[in-house]
Structure 1
């Protein structure tokens, strides 16, 4: 029986710039940055108050996939059509202002939704993420 989520993957074009984006701009902390085979690194980040969940920043390619699949995934990244994570925030409008000041590119300003107030942003590899202020009690 599944008891929770430990690691989610966000595909990136460059681990160094992705690590800087997720830590310097989004405010996540580095959990790991270690060699993971020849020319591959295991880089993970996560929210300070949620140690049980981490995001691995992976570049498409071996050993995770073959060359052709890596090229296809890289093409999708470059086109900006992949969806990444939803990050919870206490105040979406305040987080939007803070992240905008840090240079984060938003595709949509905070909007009321049935599930809360959310805004969408694009990371430096082209993946779209959401910041969400969930409705209280949900």
Structure 2
């Protein structure tokens, strides 16, 4: 039987370089691919080792541009898990990442919502062991 993996998710951004600057420069993602496709289009993939990847897709029309930062209707779009919340939170703060709240303790772990420069909301999350 075959095995499938959700490997890459598209994230619409206003500009490839702005997307790369934030995800690689501030969050520490790896630039996995950046291939020119012609006519100003690029295949830009960022991600973390062993994790899912984001295809940064430059908005090509007004409808796509209108969706930037609101691709999930204002809800948290992405969940970035860490094994050391305090360290990752401090690193992101030092890099200028905008947190929308103070860290809070929930039954599932420590969490704080941050925003990328395009308006997408992310959870930074350290999960509790649930054994």
Report TM bin, short chain.
0.7 to 0.9
**Which position in structure 2 is the counterpart of 1:60?**
59
2:22 is aligned with 1:21: yes
Larger helix proportion, structure 1 or 2?
A: 1
Any conservation in 1 of the 2:11–2:55 contact (CA below 8 Å)?
yes
2:5 is aligned with 1:12: no
Q: CA deviation at 1:107?
A: 0.6
CA RMSD of superposed structures (Å): 2.4
Change (3 A) 1:44 1:71: closer
**Which position in structure 2 is the counterpart of 1:96?**
89
Unaligned stretches of 5+ residues in structure 1: 62-66
Q: CA deviation at 1:133?
A: 0.5
Q: Provide the TM-score with structure 1 as the length reference.
A: 0.80
Partners in 2 of 1:117 and 1:107 — Cα distance? Answer: 15
Partners in 1 of 2:45 and 2:76 — Cα distance? Answer: 18
Partners in 1 of 2:48 and 2:4 — Cα distance? Answer: 19
Q: Secondary structure at the match of 2:66?
A: helix
Unaligned stretches of 5+ residues in structure 2: none
Change (3 A) 1:69 1:34: same
**Which position in structure 1 is the counterpart of 2:66?**
72
Count of aligned pairs: 129
Any conservation in 2 of the 1:92–1:119 contact (CA below 8 Å)?
no
Per mean C-alpha deviation after superposition, the further-off stretch among 94-103 and 1-10 is 1-10
